[in-house]
Amino acid sequence: MQDSTLPPLTTRFTLGSEITPSQERFLDENGFLVFNQVISEEEVAQMVSEFTRIGEEWAEQGRHTINGVPLFRGKDHQGNLFIQRLAFTSLHSAYIHSILHDERFEPIRKLIGDKARVGDEEKDGAVVSRYLNCKGSVYPKLGWHTDGLRDVFYLRRPKRMLNVGLHFDACDLDDGGLRLIPGTHNQGFWDTVFRKANFISHDEDPNEVAVLTKPGDLTIHDGRLWHRVQESKFTDERSLRRVMYVPYLTDEYQPKNAESPTPLYHHLSRAMCWYKRNFK
């Protein structure tokens, strides 16, 4: 049950010079925050232009991976190759890199940890997901899951993991987008593993909240939450929704390069994309 002393779940906060105690309490209780238009309309347009440029260049080059991380290669509404998940984007755009390291995001970095850093070269880097609902798309939605499942498999209690997203399209209920179940970041082992069928279940949950965004919004959600991405009710170009997840890391520095192997879980992702591309 939502704490009556907290702001409503639909609250849109303003990012200032620091994360306020009220914002931290909201995050601790519900597992997410939405900050209103942290990047400007002009910055949104320029970053979207960079996503398009990078995606087109990689498609023309026939790229299937970047630093060992598979690219999700689908088709757009015109039947053209359309890379729907791009990794390490800030290594391929000076503009994106400059935005992610801008001082306005310092309160977010400090929330993650005093020694946190933007992992441009680590994990999957700055990932851009381009959700599209059309024939040939391999990324129209994403099933229920928690990011803490990997910790569970290693017999560790899932640690706090905050996903920081920048949003580039208006997203209302009919546009799909992020759905999450507030408070489930504090669930026990059993619910973390068995509450839903990871990545298979797409059904609406009576307790879910739709995270509605405007271009330029910044969201934070705890990866231990049960969350999913709802498919847009629209199709073709109207359904396009773009979001970038910025990796803030605190563990040992582990950069990747062109010789880096593909992790096992990414092999599974690649197989899923192949199946969708050929049989859906």
Dump pLDDT digits (tens) for 154-213: 556 667 889 999 999 999 999 999 999 999 999 887 777 788 988 889 999 999 999 999
Q: How confident is the model at residue 259 (pLDDT cuts 50, 70, 90)?
A: confident
Overall average pLDDT of the 103-107 stretch: 98
Residue with tokens 């082992």: 189
Burial of 237-275, coded b for 16+ CB within 10 Å and e otherwise, reads eebbbbbbbbbbbeeeeeebeeeeeeeeebeebbeebee
Q: Could you tell me the two tokens for 78?
A: 């015109």
State yes or no: pLDDT of 1 exceeds 90: no
Overall average pLDDT of the 99-128 stretch: 97
State yes or no: pLDDT of 86 exceeds 60: yes
The structure's pTM equals 0.92
pLDDT value at residue 95: 98
State yes or no: pLDDT of 274 exceeds 70: no
Q: How confident is the model at residue 153 (pLDDT cuts 50, 70, 90)?
A: low
Report the distance separating Cα 83 and Cα 73, nearest Å. 5
State yes or no: pLDDT of 219 exceeds 70: yes
* Torsions phi, psi for 107 (to 5 deg): -60, -35
Overall average pLDDT of the 77-100 stretch: 98
Report the distance separating Cα 203 and Cα 236, nearest Å. 23
pLDDT value at residue 189: 75
pLDDT value at residue 66: 96
Task: Lowest mean pLDDT of 28-42, 123-137, 189-203, name the range.
Answer: 189-203
Mean pLDDT across the chain:
91
State yes or no: pLDDT of 127 exceeds 80: yes
pLDDT value at residue 278: 54
pLDDT value at residue 94: 98
Q: How confident is the model at residue 37 (pLDDT cuts 50, 70, 90)?
A: very high
State yes or no: pLDDT of 272 exceeds 60: no
Task: Lowest mean pLDDT of 83-97, 139-153, 159-173, 228-242, name the range.
Answer: 139-153
Q: How far is CA 126 from the centre of its chain?
A: 10
State yes or no: pLDDT of 38 exceeds 90: yes
State yes or no: pLDDT of 62 exceeds 70: yes
State yes or no: pLDDT of 41 exceeds 60: yes
Q: How confident is the model at residue 105 (pLDDT cuts 50, 70, 90)?
A: very high
Q: Specify the DSSP class assigned to residue 171.
A: B
Overall average pLDDT of the 13-23 stretch: 97
- Domain residue ranges of the chain, discontinuous segments joined by +: 21-279
Fold of 21-279: Jelly Rolls (2.60.120)
pLDDT value at residue 221: 98
Q: Could you tell me the two tokens for 49?
A: 């232009």
266: amino acid identity, one letter = H
